[in-house]
Structure 1
Amino acid sequence: MLQQIQEFIVNHPFLWSALVIVLIALAVNEVYRLMKGHRPIPATEAVRLMNTDDAVVVDTRSAADYKKNHILNAVHVPMAGIEERAGEITKKTDRTIICYCGIGNVAPQAASKLRRKGYTHVYALKGGINAWQADGLPVTRK
């Protein structure tokens, strides 16, 4: 097995180099996110912040998805207008904000944009509303 790996490395240096570069980029990205506090939070942590810090929950999905279901008391601000409509979320830049989307891939971008606008305690929900529902947490249509 080790001999086959060595043979692959020798015969395919560009593929091997590409793999190493991708792995290094992933590692650097993860370290950066951990150092900056941009790690998405699980649903249990979001519930804790909602209960203890009176966090504002922001739904970044489309209006149609928001109408189907959303987290109770969530403010609907689609990703496309997050920077322009940041003032609708909260005027206090030190208030805790939790952004979520469908599967957790858009909310970190929204959180990052809000941080650039000066909001200091902004988090993204890991796995989005799908993870929220998978954990058995409630949603509403109202």
Structure 2
Amino acid sequence: MKFIVDNWMLILIALSSGSMLAWPLIRGTGGGSLTAQGAVQLINRSRGVMVDVRNAEEYAAGHATGAKNVPFDQLEAKLPLAVKNKTVPLLLMCATGARAQRAVAAAKKLGYEQAQAVAGGLKGWKEANLPVEKA
């Protein structure tokens, strides 16, 4: 007990720094989303498929190189046609990541268990200096 009383300041610093380190784990760091670099690794190593869930106009203005376009409102009908293999990693992207997070839930209901959202969407993709093409 004397140790705790004598070193309360050090214990407080250790607890606060530990909680700061643990915060991303507690918060969920993007709710199952992965970084742009992580997406590239899944594409290269596991033959992951990038699907852009923005509408056709947004997609035509610029999208991640190699991404397929399946608008969010047509996901249920068109995703099984665009990505037949439900066992490959499915990487979902939108402008900022919000629609892609909702699309992950929809894709998992369709049987795509490895569906993940790309954190930050196309904005994060561009910030990571990854290639973008126009339709």
**Structure 2 CA distance for aligned equivalents of residues 119 and 100 of structure 1:** 15
**Structure 1 CA distance for aligned equivalents of residues 113 and 77 of structure 2:** 17
Query: Would the aligned equivalents of 1:41 and 1:124 in 2 still touch at CA under 8 Å?
Result: yes
Measured after TM superposition, the shift of residue 112 of structure 1 is 1.0
Find the residue that maps to 1:93 and give its secondary structure.
coil
Moved over 3 A (4+): 30-34
**Structure 1 CA distance for aligned equivalents of residues 28 and 104 of structure 2:** 12
Alignment of 1:55-70 (within 5 A): 55-70=48-63
**Structure 2 CA distance for aligned equivalents of residues 33 and 114 of structure 1:** 20
Partner residue in 2 for 1:84? 77
**Structure 1 CA distance for aligned equivalents of residues 58 and 44 of structure 2:** 25
Same amino acid, percent of matched pairs: 28
Q: 1:128 aligns with which of 110, 118, 121?
A: 121
Find the residue that maps to 1:80 and give its secondary structure.
helix
User: How big is each residue's C-alpha offset from its partner over 1:2-59, in whole Å with a ceiling of 9 and x where there is no partner?
Assistant: xxxxxxxxxxxxxxxxxxxxxxxxx9xx86968xx95110111001001101111000
Partner residue in 1 for 2:68? 75
Q: What is the one-letter code of the residue matched to 2:121?
A: G
User: Residues 31 and 61 (structure 1 numbering): CA distance in 2 closer, same or farther, change over 3 Å?
Assistant: same
Q: What is the one-letter code of the residue matched to 2:123?
A: N
Q: 1:45 aligns with which of 38, 42, 45?
A: 38
Partner residue in 2 for 1:21? none
Find the residue that maps to 1:92 and give its secondary structure.
coil
**Structure 1 CA distance for aligned equivalents of residues 26 and 53 of structure 2:** 26
Alignment TM-score, normalising by the size of structure 2: 0.76
Count of equivalent residues: 112
Partner residue in 2 for 1:12? none
**Structure 2 CA distance for aligned equivalents of residues 129 and 32 of structure 1:** 23
Q: What is the one-letter code of the residue matched to 1:55?
A: G
Q: What is the one-letter code of the residue matched to 2:124?
A: A
**Structure 2 CA distance for aligned equivalents of residues 31 and 94 of structure 1:** 28
Q: What is the one-letter code of the residue matched to 2:131?
A: P
